[in-house]
Amino acid sequence: GLSKRLNKVKDMIPHEVQTFADIGSDHAYLPCQVCLERPNVFAIAGEVNEGPYHAAVHQVESAQLTERIDVRLGDGLQILENREVDCITIAGMGGSLITNILKQGMHVLEGVKTLVLQPNIDASSIRQFAIDYQYEIINEDVILEDGYIYELVVLTPSDTSVDYTGKQIYLGPVMLQSKNKAFYQKWKQVYYKKKSIIEQMKQAKQPNELKIKEFKQQIQWIEEEVF
């Protein structure tokens, strides 16, 4: 079966979805599992690298899903035509790589109703993308697996302008409403790490005051919400 992390991604794909693209699919485990569980779903697995691309082709063949999963080699959303899918998943990459992929493919995002994103780091850049490109954050989660902590952020296009506070961008507007165990665990870890980084930064010959101020603000947000 899927990892706990990819299972969460799978569970955040809305039930009405009929076609979705998984970008950076590696072995195409996610589209294979979704298609096995949902007989009416069609998927596209995108990969920019030859190795993972061939792994995906092989996996789809051995799952006998070649009729329903199209594996494509190419960069980001460039493998998609307009209005081909109603949902896109991007998992297991850094938040800023994910937002770069989205920004470079804005033209195919028209008609895409749901973006299920699982950044390994830097989820806040995805929330900033939501503000900049008028997406609403409709779901989030923080999960712990094998000692690693992952965040998930689900976006949908919004008719009206979107705004989130600095604290919401940092900690997640949905997570702030539904804090779970992994959320507390993640932010406690970050808290102690940031505190010690600040101490190191203060000892520099020319301390980066702006960065220190930013970290202090983040520490304060964590204090308000986690302790």
Binding interface with ligand SAM (CB under 6 A) = 6, 23-26, 46-49, 52, 75-76, 91-93, 101
Give least dist CB 52 to ligand SAM, A.
Answer: 4
Give least dist CB 55 to ligand SAM, A.
Answer: 8
Contact 72, 45 (CB under 8 A): yes
Give least dist CB 36 to ligand SAM, A.
Answer: 17
- CA-closest candidate to residue 44, choices 130, 105, 95: 105
Nearer to ligand SAM, 10 or 68 (CB): 10
Please report which residue ranges of the chain form alpha helices under DSSP H.
4-11, 29-37, 50-62, 95-103, 106-109, 123-132, 166-171, 173-177, 181-202, 209-226
Distance CA 63, CA 78 (A): 26
- Torsional class of 74: left (φ above 0), alpha (ψ -120 to 50), beta (otherwise): left
Give least dist CB 86 to ligand SAM, A.
Answer: 19
Nearer to ligand SAM, 26 or 70 (CB): 26
Nearer to ligand SAM, 32 or 171 (CB): 32
Nearer to ligand SAM, 99 or 168 (CB): 99
Q: Which one-letter amino acid corresponds to residue 88?
A: I
